[in-house]
């Protein structure tokens, strides 16, 4: 299970580091590996949004994370 968590964390980083086509290729590879380990599950994007600061200095902050969800 640690390997899957590591793969998902790596995708989180690659999402910002690679061009869109390169990222999609890597995401497809990871999705294939996950399908072997956990049939019936797929990768989904979890968007995290929040605020940082207070008063006049408040601003939105967020990111994307990858999680596993059961296939419908």
pLDDT value at residue 1? 57
* Interacting residues of 53 by C-beta distance below 8 A, sequence separation 6+: 59
Closest CA to 17 of 26, 29, 5, 4: 26
Question: Residue with structure tokens 């939105």?
Answer: 60
Measured at the alpha carbon of residue 15, what is the angle toward residues 61 and 66, in degrees to the nearest 5? Answer: 80
pLDDT value at residue 53? 85
Please write the tens of the pLDDT for every residue from 37-69. Answer: 899 999 998 887 788 888 888 887 777 789 999
| Averaged pLDDT score across all residues of the chain | 87
Please give the Cα distance from 3 to 66 (Å, whole number). Answer: 14
């Amino acid at each position: 299970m640690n390997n899957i968590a590591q793969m998902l964390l790596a995708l989180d980083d690659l999402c910002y580091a690679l061009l869109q086509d390169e990222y999609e290729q890597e995401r497809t590879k990871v999705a294939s590996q996950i399908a072997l380990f956990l049939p019936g599950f797929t990768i989904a994007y979890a968007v995290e949004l929040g605020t940082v600061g207070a008063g006049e200095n408040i601003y939105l902050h967020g990111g994307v994370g990858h999680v596993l969800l059961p296939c419908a």
